[in-house]
Amino acid sequence: MDRSIEILSNVYKTVDDIDFFVGGMSEKPVSGGLLGWTFLCVVGDQFARLKKGDRYFYDLGGQPGSFSEAQLLEIRKSSWARVICDNTDTIRAIQPLAFQLPNNGLAVNIIQCLKFT
C-alpha cells in the first residue's frame, strides 16, 4: 500500500472525510509536473478564469491597443530562458525550458545564450 494512503486511512474514517487540501497535496505529481491531477485542474481553471477576465491580458484581441497577429507571433517566439539571458550578465548558457526541472538527475539540453539573438 502507498505510504500516503496508509497514513490517510489511519487519520480519516472514509475517503469522503479527507480534506481537499490534504488530499490534493497527497497526490502523486503527473509525469513531468509538480502537481497531481486535482490541483493541476484547479490551477489550470484559475489561470483560464484570470486570463479570460482580464481585458488587458496580452493575447486577447478586439480591445483598444490589442497586439496584432504578427506582433503576437513575435511575442510567442520569446521564452523565459531568453528573458533571463537578455537580462543577466553572469548566465552564459541555460536550458530552453527554464522552469522545467531536470529528470532524475539526467542532463538537460543546455544552449548558449548567444543562440537566442
Enumerate the domain spans of the chain: 1-76, 78-117
pLDDT over 80 at 107, yes or no? no
Percentage, residues of the chain above pLDDT 90: 40
pLDDT over 80 at 81, yes or no? yes
Between CA 21 and CA 103 the distance in angstroms is 26
| pTM of model > 0.75 | no
38 touches 23 (CB < 8 A):
yes
Among 30-39, 53-62, 69-78, the minimum mean pLDDT is found in: 53-62
- pLDDT score for 117: 62
pLDDT category at 106 given cuts 50, 70, 90 is: low
Helix or strand run (H / E) with residue 10: helix 3-11
Q: Which residue blocks in 1-117 are alpha helix, DSSP H?
A: 3-11, 20-26, 37-53, 69-76, 80-86
Task: Tell me the average pLDDT across 33-42.
Answer: 93
